[in-house]
Amino acid sequence: MKRFLYVLMLALLIGQIAQAESPRKTNARTRNTRQQTLQHQVPRPRVALVVGGGGAKGAAAIGAMKAVEASGIPIDMVVGTSAGAIITGLYAVGYNAQQLDSIYRAQDWIYLLSDMAAPRWKPWSKVKGVPGMMRGERFTQKLDSLLGGRCCSFDSLPIPLRCVAVDVRDFREVTLDSGNVAQAIRASMSVPLAFTTVEHDSMLLVDGGLLNNLPVDVARSMGADYVIAIDLMDAKRATQQSRGEMHTRGLVSILEWKYVRPDLDKYQVNRRDADVLIHPDVEGYHGASFSEDDTRQLIARGEEAGRAALDKLAEIRQRVQPEQKGKGSKGSKGSKGLSGSKGSRSSKGSRESERRALKFGDK
């Protein structure tokens, strides 16, 4: 009798253990199936936004970016040269196009950019890089306050960023992908003779537009499947070619660059390689068109060029997110940011960006 009870109790215990283990096995099978499904899912194509250089004409890029946001295309990476580095740098940390519009209009750009470098005589042999009239420190400090003093790998930003500059020592293109973000932007916009060069990792950096003013190729190297490029060059440059290769370095190279224009060949290639090219009409404006009326007109021209590209943007949207066909775009007017992008403007980072944007208008 005792043996019978012992066997019965043992059977009941084994049954309870089996019942307890069954859900675990089911959950494990479910997890494994889910993992296998995820492994076989095809990731959506990656989209890059590239903004070229153009000084004050960068206002037109902000206008064009409103159309990019309205299209609802998720932006996975941004690349900029010179003025484009300013815009994409701010965009990378969470500012949307409307916030950039407000920031741009609020500034006294002449005040920000005109902190003159103290005149210092040096023997020609001891001059580092290319001399410049303005230090750009006032602007860099303002920019750094907007960016929150970020110093990091640019891949760790809400939207990965690259800034293009030129090392004037050997006149080669440099892609900046880490360090102080404001300083990288400052290097990318260091127009020779206007701004002092930026020393960085033994390099002497000046404006990236000298060699790559529309860096679509940099976006491709980051893994972009589709590239939306905003071109701020004068229309006449779209058909011009370089006159040869550079043979000088340092200050003399700037003079040679003006004649040779080695950037134009790559510029033509990058224009053709962009999947969507937005080219606002900037005829009649130049790099120092910072007046209130000029800014208003340039932003309006950018918005017009952006609207003209909406059909092409819609095609890219459907290739990137075909399942959302016919649905309203979260990136439409009034949205805090782009639908599904890493730099979602509804995040805590966006609210911090808004707070900094309000402060940035004050000197």
d(CA 5, CA 104) in angstroms, rounded, equals 86
**Phi, psi (rounded to 5 degrees) for 330:** -75, -15
Per this entry, what is the length of the chain?
363
Burial 80-112 (b: 16+ CB within 10 A, else e): bbbbbbbbbbbbbbbbbbbbbbbbbeebebeeb
What does the alpha-carbon distance between residue 246 and residue 54 come to, in Å, rounded to a whole number? 22
8 A C-beta contact, residue 154 and residue 139: no
Distance CA 111, CA 127 (A): 27
Structure tokens at 20: 């307890």
Residues 6+ apart with CB under 8 A from 199: 128, 129, 205
Tell which residue, 56, 39, 62, 157, has the closest CA to residue 113: 56
- Catalytic residue ranges: 82, 207
- Cα–Cα distance measured from residue 339 to residue 346, given in angstroms and rounded to the nearest whole number: 10
Question: Is the separation of the CB atoms in 196 and 60 below 8 Å?
Answer: no
User: Is the distance from CB of 203 to CB of 172 less than 8 angstroms?
Assistant: no
- Cβ proximity of 310 and 67 under 8 Å: yes
CB count within 10 Å of CB 148 equals: 15
